[in-house]
Amino acid sequence: LQTNPISLFVEFLLVTDDSIFHHHKKLLETENQNEIFLHMRIFFAHIFASVNQRYDNSLKNDSHLRVFVILKNFLFLTVILTI
C-alpha cells in the first residue's frame, strides 16, 4: 500500500528587536531605511531558505513526511518605547 507523504507547512512571522535593525544599519553604513529593510529581508530569507533546505535534505528518504518552512512575513522593530 503506497500513500502520499503528509506535508506540513510551517509558517513563520519573523520579529526582531531594534538591535538587529541598528546592527544592519551600522553594517551597511547608511541611514536609508528602505535599503536597510531590503538587506534584512534578503538576509533572513536566506536563513529560512537554508532551514527549509535542511528539512528537505533530512526527510528526502522519508516516504511519510514532508516539512516545508515558510517565512511568511517580517516585523522589524526600529525603536523600543518605554512607558
Reading the chain (83 residues) residue by residue, the pLDDT tens digits are: 567 889 999 999 999 999 999 999 999 999 999 999 999 999 999 999 999 999 999 998 888 999 999 999 999 999 877 77
pLDDT the model gives residue 82: 78
pLDDT the model gives residue 10: 96
Residues in contact with 79: Cβ distance below 8 Å, sequence separation at least 6, in sequence order: 18
pLDDT the model gives residue 77: 92
Other Cβ atoms closer than 10 A to 25: 19
